[in-house]
Chain A
């Protein structure tokens, strides 16, 4: 294998750190753990008020959208920083699903001739809506599907769409669904034309839903396959930053707790068996940050070549086990309190475990690595 021709920038710029600070401030005000837990017990687990502040107030929904199309014209590097903070707060907002995945799918149609009645390309109309936060989008593909993987489609018959799709993350709050159909097209469907039913989900803060289309009208955007592939690859690559945020919270919070918690007349964090476990975890979290930054930087390069694919596959092959282990270690090392509904660690465990399936498991991504770097199976 050759080395990469240019070294990735794995650090955070001053602007990125400023963005992080602003997002963290906002989440501190809007997304405290007790509030998030209370919300999961209601019919509306998503925090649309926090989403409005992030999308409308800060313009974060349009980070990946060019300024000419109503967005911020930023890159995946900034989106990754936002995801780190959203992961740290396990915030129930549709940033990854709408501002990354659905947005990336729409960005796959830059030269589409399919136009709305107003004369602008349909994809551009929707991009502007999503970027401004006026609408939430969701790609109607189950959350577990990896880039390049097979996904169910609906029937396109007599100009309308029929079928049922399950496992669609954040569909419950979506205004627009991007639906792949059996004619190979990707269709934009308004959510009021379909029936969305929340499914009881492992992840309480990014629940999945069933979408039933019974003769729903859809506007054709273009070919589904390349758009879905592009969207899922960006989703997988940036998910690593959310997983880093989750893992970093789990480690930081556990270290903090173990300095305070006393048993046998000393802080529990002073026992070497636990110190070594936490130091090992720190090592993995530090590694995860480098892998996630590398994936974000590769995606931001705007290329779609093999190096980006390797960076994303490496990040996802590494990230999921680390985030899950961080959450599991946090639970175990918190002892009894970690097993309660009241303590937020379960939100992180559920998110981390669901994330380990999202956009392909670590094993799926390892197989992708095998193909990409020519380490073929027997």
Chain B
């Protein structure tokens, strides 16, 4: 049968009737929702979906929200939902999909991403973490960095070098790594805000069964592209109301505290307010394109735009606050699970937003990507293209 909006509404009501949110355990409800195919409706049947267009998810979400049903705390498990899941769906075996996707979606198992290394940031393909095959297992040694959620994660998506004799893009393989393996050591990485959102992860003789490989041996770079493309969509594609971003607290302070106003700040505030509003409209336009099934290249630009705006707006906010701008709310070393832009003060926003133009692809790399893939300008010279990884300068 064809599943349309009406049928989805009926099935959602059926789920709610069988598992009333008020009297059902949160996890039981989420599992039942997954099994009913109402978790992510565009996923295949049996894997939390019904194989219908993604745009129909809104129908289910609206019904569930109205009924006060619990959600899976999507921000907490963003890496699993936004990066691991689409990669597993595209490249995983049937067994892998069945094993990983359900607890990933319900949040029972948190995922993290072991990609970046101290020596492989923008040039991620140069990574040096080694995976050596021993029978049915791979033995992994190396160091990863900037790993959020590593300290609470059950699983990681990992890329490692399996053939150092191939050029850098070709000798990489993609794995699912068990974060409870005794060879995995997670250390907090304190950042300029004082807290440690991220971790360093040291991998020492970690043994990964070959059954946890995603995609072919040596094809890990291509598999990772799926992950990274989804990461940029996740970072840049959020829907915002007017003044929903960083401009919100500045506009509020401006309205409530006339004693802080100066002519110079006014001009800069208005310029940034307009730019924030226009960026919001661009995001909305991109969303409408996706819903209409005509994804545009605008997504590549959204992250660039928001990184710059966040930095300039929070910088203005610190200045606006005058004497208060000299203060900082809290330097305590904490382990937050989420970036909390709105719960903290201006100084935190100023410092944290510095990372926005580095994480998930630096703005400089993204500008190259726009120039080459959107505008079709010539690619950067690639002196490393045909050189075996082991012979690269480092």
Of A255, A266, A366, the residue contacting B375 (CB under 8 A) is A255
Does B2 lie at the interface of the complex (its beta carbon under 8 Å from any beta carbon of A)? no
A290, B281: Cβ atoms closer than 8 Å: yes
Does B305 lie at the interface of the complex (its beta carbon under 8 Å from any beta carbon of A)? yes
Does A378 lie at the interface of the complex (its beta carbon under 8 Å from any beta carbon of B)? yes
Q: In the complex, which residue of chain A has the Cβ closest to the Cβ of B379? A: A270
In the complex, A110 Cα to B214 Cα: how many Å? 68
Other CB < 8 Å A-B pairs besides A3-B242, A318-B274, 7 of them?
A3-B244, A276-B367, A278-B375, A283-B301, A314-B277, A317-B274, A378-B263
| Interface segment, one of A7-15, A156-164, A225-233 | A7-15
Of B270, B277, B368, the residue contacting A272 (CB under 8 A) is B368
In the complex, A278 Cα to B370 Cα: how many Å? 9
Proximity string of chain B (295-328) to chain A, C-beta cutoff 8 Å, 1 when within and 0 when not: 0001001001100000000000000000000000
In the complex, A186 Cα to B215 Cα: how many Å? 73
In the complex, A339 Cα to B104 Cα: how many Å? 59
Does B251 lie at the interface of the complex (its beta carbon under 8 Å from any beta carbon of A)? yes
A369, B270: Cβ atoms closer than 8 Å: yes
In the complex, A282 Cα to B281 Cα: how many Å? 16
Which residues 294-335 in A have Cβ within 8 Å of B in the complex?
A: 294, 314, 317-318
B367, A9: Cβ atoms closer than 8 Å: no
Does B378 lie at the interface of the complex (its beta carbon under 8 Å from any beta carbon of A)? yes
Which residues 60-97 in B have Cβ within 8 Å of A in the complex?
A: none
Does B180 lie at the interface of the complex (its beta carbon under 8 Å from any beta carbon of A)? no
A276, B364: Cβ atoms closer than 8 Å: yes
With a cutoff of 8 Å between Cβ atoms, the chain A residues found around residue B298 in the complex are 286
Contact flag A255-B370 (CB < 8 Å), given A283-B305, A286-B301, A373-B273: no
> What are 24 A-to-B residue pairs whose CB atoms are below 8 Å?
A1-B242, A3-B242, A9-B288, A10-B281, A10-B284, A11-B285, A11-B288, A255-B375, A255-B377, A258-B377, A270-B377, A279-B370, A283-B305, A286-B298, A287-B282, A287-B305, A291-B278, A314-B274, A314-B277, A366-B267, A369-B274, A370-B266, A375-B269, A378-B266
Does A275 lie at the interface of the complex (its beta carbon under 8 Å from any beta carbon of B)? yes
In the complex, A370 Cα to B261 Cα: how many Å? 13
Does B371 lie at the interface of the complex (its beta carbon under 8 Å from any beta carbon of A)? yes
B301, A282: Cβ atoms closer than 8 Å: yes
A10, B285: Cβ atoms closer than 8 Å: yes
A322 to chain B, nearest CB (A): 9
Of B242, B261, B304, B380, the residue contacting A4 (CB under 8 A) is B242
With a cutoff of 8 Å between Cβ atoms, the chain B residues found around residue A367 in the complex are 270
With a cutoff of 8 Å between Cβ atoms, the chain B residues found around residue A287 in the complex are 275, 278-279, 281-282, 305
Q: In the complex, which residue of chain B has the Cβ closest to the Cβ of A321? A: B271
A270, B273: Cβ atoms closer than 8 Å: no
A4 to chain B, nearest CB (A): 7
Q: In the complex, which residue of chain A has the Cβ closest to the Cβ of B370? A: A279
Does B254 lie at the interface of the complex (its beta carbon under 8 Å from any beta carbon of A)? yes
With a cutoff of 8 Å between Cβ atoms, the chain A residues found around residue B271 in the complex are 317, 366
With a cutoff of 8 Å between Cβ atoms, the chain B residues found around residue A77 in the complex are none
With a cutoff of 8 Å between Cβ atoms, the chain A residues found around residue B368 in the complex are 272, 275-276, 279
Q: In the complex, which residue of chain A has the Cβ closest to the Cβ of B240? A: A3
In the complex, A251 Cα to B271 Cα: how many Å? 23
Contact flag A378-B285 (CB < 8 Å), given A278-B371, A318-B275: no
With a cutoff of 8 Å between Cβ atoms, the chain B residues found around residue A374 in the complex are 255
B378 to chain A, nearest CB (A): 3
B375, A290: Cβ atoms closer than 8 Å: no
Q: In the complex, which residue of chain A has the Cβ closest to the Cβ of B296? A: A286
B266, A293: Cβ atoms closer than 8 Å: no
With a cutoff of 8 Å between Cβ atoms, the chain B residues found around residue A378 in the complex are 258, 261-263, 266
A1, B243: Cβ atoms closer than 8 Å: yes
Of B251, B258, B267, B372, the residue contacting A275 (CB under 8 A) is B372
Does A350 lie at the interface of the complex (its beta carbon under 8 Å from any beta carbon of B)? no
Of A3, A278, A280, A377, the residue contacting B377 (CB under 8 A) is A278
With a cutoff of 8 Å between Cβ atoms, the chain A residues found around residue B263 in the complex are 377-378
In the complex, A11 Cα to B295 Cα: how many Å? 12
Of A259, A369, A373, the residue contacting B378 (CB under 8 A) is A259
With a cutoff of 8 Å between Cβ atoms, the chain B residues found around residue A317 in the complex are 270-271, 274
Contact flag A283-B378 (CB < 8 Å), given A373-B273, A377-B266, A378-B263: no
Does B241 lie at the interface of the complex (its beta carbon under 8 Å from any beta carbon of A)? yes
B367, A280: Cβ atoms closer than 8 Å: yes
Which residues 1-36 in A have Cβ within 8 Å of B in the complex?
A: 1-4, 7-11
Which residues 318-374 in B have Cβ within 8 Å of A in the complex?
A: 364, 367-368, 370-372, 374
B99 to chain A, nearest CB (A): 40
With a cutoff of 8 Å between Cβ atoms, the chain B residues found around residue A375 in the complex are 251, 254-255, 266, 269-270, 273
Of A2, A267, A290, the residue contacting B285 (CB under 8 A) is A290
Does A46 lie at the interface of the complex (its beta carbon under 8 Å from any beta carbon of B)? no
In the complex, A209 Cα to B242 Cα: how many Å? 41
In the complex, A217 Cα to B258 Cα: how many Å? 53
A275, B377: Cβ atoms closer than 8 Å: yes
In the complex, A366 Cα to B263 Cα: how many Å? 13
B225 to chain A, nearest CB (A): 20
B125 to chain A, nearest CB (A): 19
Does B292 lie at the interface of the complex (its beta carbon under 8 Å from any beta carbon of A)? yes
Which residues 122-142 in B have Cβ within 8 Å of A in the complex?
A: none
Does B376 lie at the interface of the complex (its beta carbon under 8 Å from any beta carbon of A)? yes
With a cutoff of 8 Å between Cβ atoms, the chain B residues found around residue A369 in the complex are 270, 273-274
Q: In the complex, which residue of chain B has the Cβ closest to the Cβ of A255? A: B375
With a cutoff of 8 Å between Cβ atoms, the chain A residues found around residue B289 in the complex are 11
Does A289 lie at the interface of the complex (its beta carbon under 8 Å from any beta carbon of B)? yes
With a cutoff of 8 Å between Cβ atoms, the chain A residues found around residue B243 in the complex are 1
With a cutoff of 8 Å between Cβ atoms, the chain B residues found around residue A286 in the complex are 282, 298, 301
Proximity string of chain A (252-294) to chain B, C-beta cutoff 8 Å, 1 when within and 0 when not: 0001001100000011011010011011101100111111011
A255, B376: Cβ atoms closer than 8 Å: yes
A290, B284: Cβ atoms closer than 8 Å: yes
Q: In the complex, which residue of chain A has the Cβ closest to the Cβ of B280? A: A290
With a cutoff of 8 Å between Cβ atoms, the chain A residues found around residue B284 in the complex are 7-8, 10, 290
A321 to chain B, nearest CB (A): 9
With a cutoff of 8 Å between Cβ atoms, the chain A residues found around residue B380 in the complex are 270, 272
Of B285, B305, B381, the residue contacting A289 (CB under 8 A) is B285
With a cutoff of 8 Å between Cβ atoms, the chain A residues found around residue B273 in the complex are 369, 373, 375
A203 to chain B, nearest CB (A): 25
A146 to chain B, nearest CB (A): 15
With a cutoff of 8 Å between Cβ atoms, the chain A residues found around residue B241 in the complex are 2-3
A249 to chain B, nearest CB (A): 14
In the complex, A280 Cα to B374 Cα: how many Å? 12
B375, A279: Cβ atoms closer than 8 Å: yes
Proximity string of chain A (344-370) to chain B, C-beta cutoff 8 Å, 1 when within and 0 when not: 000000000000000000000011011
In the complex, A371 Cα to B49 Cα: how many Å? 48
B377, A291: Cβ atoms closer than 8 Å: no
Q: In the complex, which residue of chain A has the Cβ closest to the Cβ of B371? A: A275
